[in-house]
Amino acid sequence: NNGIKKPKGYTVSYHANPEMEQMHFGQKHPMKPWRLTLTNKIVMAYGMHEAMDIYIPRAASSQELKDFHRGDYIDFLQRVTPSDNTWDPDSQTYAYNTGDDCPIFDGLYNYCSLYAGASLDAARKLTNHQSNIAINWSGGLHHAKKNEASGFCYINDIVLAILQLLLHHPRVLYIDIDVHHGDGVEQAFWSTDRVMTLSFHKYNRAEFFPGTGALDDTGPLNNASPGAHHSLNVPLHDGIEDAQYIKLFEDVVKPCVRQYKPTAIVLQCGADSLGGDRLGCFNVNIKAHGACVAFVKKFNLPLLVLGGGGYTPRNVAKAWAYETSLCIGAEVHPNLPAHTPFLEHFGNEKTLFPKLDFTRYENKNSRVYLESVVMGIMEQLRYLQG
Ligand code: ZLM
Ligand code: CA
Ligand code: ZN
């Protein structure tokens, strides 16, 4: 291979069930599970699998899914078929918020239980001390609620994995760099101080999904609630660039770790925050996205690395493969190996670091604005000193 060796002194585990990759949300739906195939092909072409423990996790059981989700919702997902989805005239939607964003497709329940099973497996490898960094690119589906689907997400694998970590860890820090707000995870842990949630996202209440995640949404307003000041949000405008994003990420994450002292970290690496994403609106390159992963790794805490959004599949695959290499601490050649399968799908630039398309979104984030956001976060963290 390319001389990629197991990292010294720590173990990286990679949790991927290839059954996931065949699933289809429908022809024109932006979510393409096939991006996972592209990711795995690049990872393997570089020989990165030699440096990790590879697991093909079993699907989560319905009992495991019900540790967070309501029983009737799981029963519905297990039973429903594309032909019998029922319209609810009261809410003007299909049952449990399924519909255009969250369609009922063939194999839906299998898909859900597989990505959730992979996140649970990854979390358990961390708590067993069999792994120090556990990766599941099929997970990170942060919008799913206890009782309903939302934004392409049906089961909240992140909440399930964090619940698993909480059996062994007093404090878990959740960091979310998907371009969308991590509302489902925030909501699940809104009133506890055992999880701090921190989401970076495009914020526009009226125009950008899901419309939540303002700077001053920081937990229950009642200061007597343990959750007060433990939900942190970094609302951003269109077009944020590499240097700004990296500095912002470091300026916010470092004090969060210093003040909160997590014993484990969960990092959702949604790749729709990359420039040129079909749904996103940032101007972040793959190296800068990866710099966030590298920065979090340096805290040397048990780390669960998850996927999430990402709607320009060739860029998603490059970003997640590069981030896999950062987790194992391997230097990889920027050019994709010539024997990479599906090389024709990776655009004209056969490199991990293509120049992304930044012509669509002008940068609306001023230095002064970003400074005010960091100030706002620091203000919340001051409450934690107790
Ligand atoms: N309509 N087809 C991010 C989740 C974003 C809500 C506006 C549905 C789409 C989008 C679906 C083929 C994560 C909204 C959208 C059309 C109400 C969203 C199906 C195109 C299509 O062509 C499409 C028929 C579809 C959905 C665009 N939906 C773009 N943005 C968001 C959800 C998930 O990345 O954070 C984590 C995985 N939904 O804006 C509408 C308000 C439904
Ligand atoms: Ca986010
Ligand atoms: Zn997203």
- pLDDT, tens digit, 9 for 90 and up, residues 114-156: 999 999 999 999 999 999 999 999 999 999 999 999 999 999 9
The secondary structure of 39-62 as a DSSP string is HHHHHHHTTGGGGSEEE-PPPPPH
Asked if the interface predicted TM-score (ipTM) of this complex is over 0.90, the answer is yes
> Residue 121's CB: how many other CB atoms inside 10 A?
22
Give catalytic residue positions: 181
Residues 26-46 pLDDT 10s: 999 999 999 999 999 999 999
Contact 215, 373 (CB under 8 A): yes
Structure confidence at residue 89 (pLDDT): 72
> Measured between alpha carbons, how far apart are the two ends of the chain, in Å?
52
Predicted model pTM: 0.98
Which range among 20-24, 65-69, 176-180 shows the weakest confidence by mean pLDDT?
20-24
Residue nearest to atom 28 of ligand 1 (CA): 101
Would the CA dihedral through 310, 131, 292, 150 be positive or negative? positive
To test the ligand 1 pocket, which listed residue (32, 101, 186) has its Cβ within 8 A of the most ligand atoms? Answer: 101
Closest ligand 1 atom to Cα of 101: 11
pLDDT grade, residue 1 (50/70/90)?
low
Residues 222-246 pLDDT 10s: 999 999 999 999 999 999 999 999 9
Residues 303-329 pLDDT 10s: 999 999 999 999 999 999 999 999 999
Residue nearest to atom 32 of ligand 1 (CA): 151
- The mean of the pLDDT values for the chain is 96
Structure confidence at residue 87 (pLDDT): 73
* Ligand 1 binding pocket, CB closer than 6 Å: 26, 28-30, 100-101, 141-143, 151-153, 178, 180, 209, 270, 272, 279, 308-309
Structure confidence at residue 347 (pLDDT): 83
Output the 3-class SS for 194-252. CEEEEEEEECCCCCCCCCCCCCCCCCCCCCCCCCCCCEEEEEECCCCEHHHHHHHHHHH
To test the ligand 1 pocket, which listed residue (100, 112, 152) has its Cβ within 8 A of the most ligand atoms? Answer: 100
Would you say residue 3 has pLDDT above 90? no
How is the chain split among helix, strand and coil, in percent rounded to 5? 40, 15, 50
Non-local CB neighbours of 240 within 8 Å, separated by 6+ positions: 248, 282, 283, 284, 363, 365
pLDDT (average), residues 256-280: 98
Tokens of 211: 């419309």
Buried b (16+ CB within 10 A) or exposed e, 66-97: bebbeeebbebbeebeeeeeeeeeeeeebbbb
Would you say residue 187 has pLDDT above 60? yes
Compute the distance between CA of residue 70 and CA of residue 56 in angstroms, rounded to an integer: 27
Residues 88-119 pLDDT 10s: 777 777 899 999 999 999 999 999 999 999 99
Closest ligand 1 atom to Cα of 25: 19
Tokens of 373: 């956001």
Identify the burial level of 119 via C-beta atoms within 10 angstroms of its C-beta, where 0-12 means exposed, 13-18 middle and 19 or more buried. buried
How far is Cα of residue 16 from the mean position of the Cα atoms in its chain?
15
Find the Cα–Cα–Cα–Cα dihedral 117, 120, 121, 126, rounded to 10°.
Answer: 170
The three-class DSSP label of residue 109 is helix
* Residue 384 CA, ligand 1 centroid: distance in Å: 36
Residue 182: name the closest of 30, 320, 312, 308 by CA. 308
